[in-house]
Chain A
Amino acid sequence: MANSDQARPSESAATLTSVSVVYRRGRQRVSAATDVSLDIPAGRVVGLIGESGAGKSTVLKVLLGLVKPTSGRVEIGGTDLASVPPRRAVALRNSIQVVMQNPYGSLDPRWTVARSIAEPLRAEARRTGGPSDSAAIRARVAEMLDRVRLPAAKAESYPRQLSGGERQRVAIARALSVRPRLLVADEPVTALDNVTTAQILDLLDELHRDVGLAILIVSHSMSVIAHLAQDVYVMRHGRVVESGDTAAILDSPRHPHTAMLIEASRFLDEWTDGSDLAPAGAA
C-alpha cells in the first residue's frame, strides 16, 4: 500500500500548466479542458478523478501526446515539450507509458504476449539505433512477465487466451518494459471484477514502492484513488475543482462535487462489499 508519509521528491515526472483544450465541431467550439494545472512528482502516485465527461481523458491524451493542447505548457521531467526538437520530444514522451481501460482492446489480437511486450522495446531500439531483436529484448520480456507475476509460459499466448486480469498484467508489463518514469493508468480496473481489481491495484502499488515509479491513476471511483493515490486532483466540467493530499481531501472535502464523489463511492462500497474508504497508507 502506498505510504502518504513517504518523502515527496522534488523532481517532477510530468507537469501540466494552464492547459486548455478546445475541440472544433463544425462551427462550434467545445471546451474539453480549461486551465488545467497538474503536477506528478517523481515516485509519487497521483489520482485524477471526475465523472464521465469531466475532462480526465483529455488531460491524459495531452500528457500522452495524443491531443495537442490549445494553450498551456506540458513538461516532462522538467523539460518543456514545446522547447525541444520533435525527436527529443518523442524520447521524452517515451518516459510516460500507459495502461488503458479496456484490457480486451489495448492488446493487438494478432500478436503473442511476448511480441506485445517487446513492441515498445523494439520501437525504442529503432529510434535509438540499437538492436531490435536481441537476446536482451527476450530477457527483458521474461523479466517483465515475472515482474507482473505472470508465468513464463504465457509468453506465447494470444490475448484471446488470457483472462481480463492477465491481459491487464500484460499491458502493465508492456508499459514497464521501457523503464518509464511515469505510468499513466487510465481507469485500469473499470472492466475487471472485484477480486481482479484488488490484484491489479495491489500490483500497481507494489511497482510504485519497489521501483519508485510515478503513477497517474485516472478513475471515476474514489475507492480506487483512495487505495492507491497520495495526491488527488478532482475534475468537473473540464476544470480542476480541488486538489491536494488524498487523506486530507477524503477527510474534509472543500468542493461540494468532491464530497459528492466521496459519498457516492462510499455508498457503492457499502452496497457491494461492505468495505469503506480509507486513504492510501492507512492500512
Chain B
Amino acid sequence: MSLTDTPQAEVTHGPAGTRATSLAWTIVSRFLVRAAELVGFLVLLVVALFLLARAQGDPAAVLAGPEASPEDVEAIRVLYGLDQPLLIQLLNFLRHFLFFDFGTSIHEKVPALELALDRLGTTVVLCLIATVINVAVATPLGLYVGGTGGRLAWLRKVVSGAVLAAQGVQYYIVGMLLIAVFAINLRLLPAIGFDRPDSWVLPSIALAWLAAPRLTRVVASAASQVYGSEIVHTATAYGLRPGTIRTRYVLPNVMVPMIATAGTQFTLLLSGAVIVEGLFGINGLGLLLVVSAQNFDFPTLAASVTLIGLIVFAVTVISDLLYRLVDPRLRRSGA
C-alpha cells in the first residue's frame, strides 16, 4: 500500500513573530485595554463612594456631628452643597474626585488624601512582604506536593494534608498565637508596630497565612498536571534529572496560574491587612479605614478606599503583564 509523500499539504498559521515585536505589542495593547478599563473602574468607584456617603444617613448631620443644632446642620448642608439636587451633587463629587480632592478629615483635621497617603506606604510594604512570603512558601511546597513518585511519597501526602489543615486555621488566630509565642513568651520579636525590620516579621507571617495555603494548592494542582504531561515524559526520556525537569519544565509552566492567583490574592491581603494592622497596632491604611468608618469620617474613608482601589488596579495590571511575559502563548492570543 502506498502512502502519500506530500508534507507540503499541511496547513500553517502565518509567520512567527519575533520575541521583541511580540513583547512590544503585548505591552502597548494591554496598556490601552487597561487604560480603558481604568476609566470605567474610576466611574464605578465614584458612584459607589457617592452612594456610600448617602447610605450613612443624612451626610450633613453626619458631618456636623451628634451635638450639632438643626441650624448648624442646615449651615453645613448649604456649605457642602448638600442642599442641591442629587445629580448636581454627584457631578460636584465627580469634579472633586477627578482632582483627588476628598476634603479635610473630620477626625484628624488634615487633608484626607494626605492622611491616607501617609499610611499607604506601611500597608503596601506589609502586603508586599506577605506576598513574598506567600510565593516563597507556596512555590517549593506546591511543587513538592504536586510531584509524583520518589522515596518519600508518604511524606507528600502528609504535607498535602498539613496544607489543607493550614487553610482551615484563620490568619488572625495565627497572628494571636505568634504574638503569644514569639513576643510574649520568648520575647524574640515585637508585638506592636511596624517601624523596624524585626517588627515586620510577625504581622507579615500572619497576613501571608491568609494566602499561602491556597496558593500552595494552586501550584500543586498545576504542577501535578505538568508532571503528568507528555512534555515531562519526553524530557525524562532524554535523560534529564528530576531537579532539571522541575526547574526547566514544571516551574515555568506553573508560573501563569501562580502569578494570576498571587495577583488576585494581593486584594485579599489588602482586606486582611485591616485585621492584621488592628491586631499588631500598625498605623496603616487598613486601620485608618476602620477608624474613619467608626468616626463617620467620610473624606478619609473616600480617600482610603480610592487609594486601595488604585492599588488593586495596579496589581491587576502588573500581574496581567507578568504572566504574559512568562508565557508566550498569551502574548498575542488576546486572552
Contacts and interface: CB of A to CB of B under 8 A. Distances in A.
B236 A119 contact: no
A134 B78 CA distance: 79
Contacts of B13: 160-163
B10 to A, nearest CB: 5
Interface stretch (A9-17, A97-105, A212-220, A251-259): A97-105
Q: How many of chain A's residues touch chain B, expressed as a range?
A: 35 or more
Interface in B38-66: none
A127 B328 CA distance: 29
A248 interface: no
Given A65-B236, A161-B12, A163-B12, A107 B231 contact: yes
Interface stretch (B1-9, B94-102, B132-140, B259-267): B1-9
B328 to A, nearest CB: 6
A260 interface: no
Contact of A201 (B3, B11, B16, B240): B3
Interface string A241-278: 00000000000000000000000000000000001001
A107 B327 CA distance: 14
B237 A93 contact: yes
A53 interface: no
B237 A199 contact: no
A93 B235 CA distance: 12
Given A165-B10, A227-B3, A283-B2, A110 B327 contact: yes
Nearest to B8: A149
User: Would you call the interface of chain B mostly helix, strand, loop, or mixed?
Assistant: loop
A171 B7 CA distance: 15
Interface string B320-335: 0000001111000000
Interface string A222-254: 000001000000000000000000000000000
B4 A275 contact: no
A91 B7 CA distance: 33
Interface string B1-34: 1111111011111111010000000000000000
Contacts of A156: 16, 18
A36 interface: no
A90 interface: yes
A112 B17 CA distance: 11
Interface in B71-93: none
B329 A106 contact: no
A158 B230 CA distance: 17
Contact of B1 (A100, A150, A196, A275): A275
A10 B326 CA distance: 49
Q: Which of B5, B14, B229, B234 has the most CB of A within 10 A?
A: B234
A94 interface: yes
A166 B249 CA distance: 22
Interface in A197-215: 198-199, 201-203, 205
A163 B10 contact: yes
Contacts of B240: 123
A195 B329 contact: no
A198 B3 CA distance: 5
A64 B236 contact: yes
A166 B10 contact: yes
A66 interface: yes
Contact of A105 (B18, B229, B238): B229
Interface of A: 1, 61, 64-66, 90-91, 93-94, 96-98, 100-102, 105-110, 112, 119-120, 123-124, 127, 149-150, 153, 156-158, 160-163, 165-166, 169, 171, 174, 178, 184, 195-196, 198-199, 201-203, 205, 227, 275, 278, 282-283
9 contacts: A61-B233, A64-B236, A94-B237, A106-B234, A153-B15, A160-B329, A161-B16, A162-B12, A199-B5
Given A64-B233, A127-B239, A166-B10, 16 more contacts: A1-B1, A1-B3, A64-B237, A90-B239, A96-B237, A102-B230, A110-B253, A110-B329, A119-B235, A156-B16, A161-B14, A171-B234, A178-B238, A184-B237, A199-B4, A201-B3
